[in-house]
Chain A
Amino acid sequence: MGVRTGNPQTALEALTCRRLLASSWPWRSAGYLLTTLPVALAAFVVLAIPWLVLVARLTEGGYQAGVIVFMVLFAAALTGALGPLIAPPLARLERNRLRMVDNRPAVSIHRAPAPAGLVSWLRDRYADPATWREVGYACLLATLAPVLSIAALLAVPLVGTFLVSPLLVLAQQPGDSPVALGFGTAATVGQTPPYVIVGVLLLPLVPYLWTLLAGAHAAVARALLLGETTEQLRAELVEVSRSRARLADAFEAERRRIERDLHDGAQQRLVSLTLRLGLARLDLPPDSSAAESVTAAHEQAKQLMAELRQLIHGIQPQILTDLGLPAALDELADQSPIPVTVKAQLPARPPNQIENTAYFVAAEALTNVAKHSDATSAAVTVRQHGTMLTVEISDNGHGGADPSRGTGLTGLADRVAVTGGRMLLSSPVGGPTLLRVELPCNHNQPPFG
């Protein structure tokens, strides 16, 4: 959206084109204006006749104020009742007709196809805001559009008359009244050159006028009849989710890099250093102060080793990278303070991001279970149905988990949403709690094509 390609997509865009006169746009616009007339007539017959009758009656005079108000309300009710019935088919026709002056796709603004059954069909039709926008358009079509279209089309005979005015004057029989030319009259050929000059000047403007009016009409039609706003929103949304996915991917890659760097670099060196300290300790006399400080250093290094391992594990568990989800979940279950049953059978390894998301969902959920639920057992089930990976974490605790309290669950939902998946939580007070996460899992393609 918003990116202008070389060729104009609509009549309005074509207006700024230098080669407008050589293009098909003026002719398409003229066709559009011309075909507006019969459609406008149809709208006029249905929507304007009650009002015309009303106006005709009122001009007769002699009505009480109450009666006038009643008649106005009646006409309005009639328009309101009939409008939604005739506006949608009219709008459908207008959307098709829009192609004459607008190359972009025309998507209906209606949310979904009208449901079956007369009552629900009627309810849907009268309740849908889209219908009322179509009614508004139909009103414009019945009133303003034909006037403007006729005016634009009348420019042709006007300019034509100017151009051929000398001939018209010559064709006059003596005694006839002077030829009427727009704003003035001409009785002799000598009076016609100004009209011819104006005609010549106006001639190239006529296509511009057509294109302008047809373009303006089309813009109004597009604004009222097409789901352009939703379409635009959708396009923006797609772009936003793509960029979010790119960010998440970059974040993921960065995490893996940090994990690798820490593991290959810092951790190796630290283990080697600790080993040296352990050896140095043995070479010192046991009671010396040197032995004491080396022992302390050795202990500290060991503690640091454990902390670093924990840190790396939190960034990206190595068992997940090496052996995949089932093994990593088994390890997770083993570390949980309550017994956890893991059922994870996958036909193949999911894409990195999906695998990681599934793992961190399970890890966070199990932490929550252990911290808040008072459960005595929990279960993790991972399954793949077609291109969807589901992760379910259930426990027999007291339930009442609330995503609005604490950031754990919301953070999980965000993580899941980035992959295009969704998270469902059932946690009635009194338990049990079931957290279900569905992740798109296409083995052949990265999740964001």
Chain B
Amino acid sequence: MQPQPTTIRVVIAEDGVLLREGLAGLLERFGLHTVAVVGDGEALKFAVAEHSPDLVVTDIRMPPSFTDEGLRAAVELRRAHPDLAIVALSQYVQHRYAADLLDSGDGRGIGYLLKDRIVDVEDFIAALRQVAAGGTVIDPQVISQLVRRRSDPLSSLSAREREVLALIAQGHSNSAIARQLVISEPAVGKHVGNILAKLHLPQTDDTNRRVLAVLAYLRDGRLG
């Protein structure tokens, strides 16, 4: 709940009326300014053109197709406005969705979260702010599944290193990870170093580059 120097202007796209109002109320409560609330992908594109917001929060499953309407609108919007931050909310983990979003630009200013996360209001708002500031936030469940899927080289990681990896992928800085795991920051640094070395990833202090490298590695085993 730290005060934001400039108000973040948000467009919300969500077809469920109750949830739409709930989201708008939530953002208002935390001082984000909702400039438009829409119910489908087409309307989202119009609203962005009209209001040029800083952040779009969109449901992926929307009318008329009820499949990935919101995702397609988001990818299109990113192509037209590479700086537009987008958080996509998904009913279920779909790796392709996360991948499509990350590929729709340089991977900055992208969030992919399960819809249920919004009820953890503070974490959710923190994630929105992080994305609005150009960060990358991927749902922990996506990460844990990717880690499990690519089991071979990751098996060399210790349990603690896996925890740290999951937090890196969610875009946390070393100090944030230290706070969350209740360990010292140098200890986190050591873990991060070990992870990157074990996965043969380039060492970097830039949180976002680190996230993208890890995600790219998890997604298809290539270096980012």
Interface residues of A (CB under 8 A from B): 264, 268-269, 271-272, 274-279, 282, 298, 301-302, 305-306, 309, 317-319, 322-323, 327, 330-331, 333-335, 339
Given the known inter-chain contacts A274-B119, A323-B67, please indicate yes or no for A318 contacting B91, CB distance below 8 A.
Answer: yes
Q: Are B115 and A271 in contact (CB under 8 A)?
A: yes
Contact of A282 among B21, B94, B121 (CB under 8 A): B121
Contact of A319 among B18, B19, B94, B119 (CB under 8 A): B94
Q: Are B26 and A279 in contact (CB under 8 A)?
A: yes
Interface residues of B (CB under 8 A from A): 16, 18-19, 21-23, 25-26, 29, 61, 66-68, 91-96, 115-116, 118-122, 145, 148-149, 151
Question: Bound complex: CA of A90 vs CA of B148, how far in Å?
Answer: 72
Task: Report chain B residues within 8 Å CB of A269.
Answer: 18
Q: SS class of chain B's interface: helix, strand, loop or mixed?
A: helix
Nearest B-chain residue to A301, judged by Cβ: B119
Q: Return A162 CB to nearest CB of chain B, in Å.
A: 87
Q: Are B149 and A271 in contact (CB under 8 A)?
A: no
Given the known inter-chain contacts A282-B29, A318-B92, A319-B92, please indicate yes or no for A275 contacting B145, CB distance below 8 A.
Answer: no
Given the known inter-chain contacts A268-B19, A276-B22, A327-B94, please indicate yes or no for A334 contacting B148, CB distance below 8 A.
Answer: yes
Contact of A309 among B67, B116, B118, B149 (CB under 8 A): B116
Nearest B-chain residue to A328, judged by Cβ: B92
Task: Report chain B residues within 8 Å CB of A331.
Answer: 92-94
Question: Bound complex: CA of A317 vs CA of B25, how far in Å?
Answer: 30
What 12 new A-B contacts, CB under 8 Å, besides A275-B23, A322-B66, A323-B67?
A: A268-B18, A269-B18, A278-B120, A282-B29, A282-B121, A301-B119, A305-B116, A306-B116, A322-B61, A322-B68, A331-B92, A339-B148
Q: Return A91 CB to nearest CB of chain B, in Å.
A: 62
Task: Report chain B residues within 8 Å CB of A298.
Answer: 119
Nearest B-chain residue to A313, judged by Cβ: B92
Question: Bound complex: CA of A330 vs CA of B98, how far in Å?
Answer: 14
Contact of A334 among B21, B91, B119, B149 (CB under 8 A): B149
Which 9 A-B residue pairs are closest in the complex by CB-CB distance? A274-B119, A278-B121, A272-B18, A334-B145, A275-B22, A322-B67, A272-B22, A268-B16, A319-B92
Q: Are A271 and B94 in contact (CB under 8 A)?
A: no
Task: Report chain A residues within 8 Å CB of B92.
Answer: 317-319, 331
16 A-B interface contacts by CB (under 8 A):
A268-B16, A268-B18, A268-B19, A271-B19, A272-B18, A274-B119, A275-B22, A275-B23, A275-B26, A279-B26, A282-B122, A318-B61, A319-B92, A323-B67, A331-B92, A333-B149
Q: Return A317 CB to nearest CB of chain B, in Å.
A: 8
Nearest A-chain residue to B152, judged by Cβ: A339
Contact of A271 among B29, B95, B119 (CB under 8 A): B119
Q: Return A298 CB to nearest CB of chain B, in Å.
A: 8
Question: Bound complex: CA of A278 vs CA of B145, how far in Å?
Answer: 27
Q: Return A369 CB to nearest CB of chain B, in Å.
A: 16
Question: Bound complex: CA of A309 vs CA of B22, how far in Å?
Answer: 19
Q: Are B119 and A305 in contact (CB under 8 A)?
A: yes
Nearest B-chain residue to A324, judged by Cβ: B67
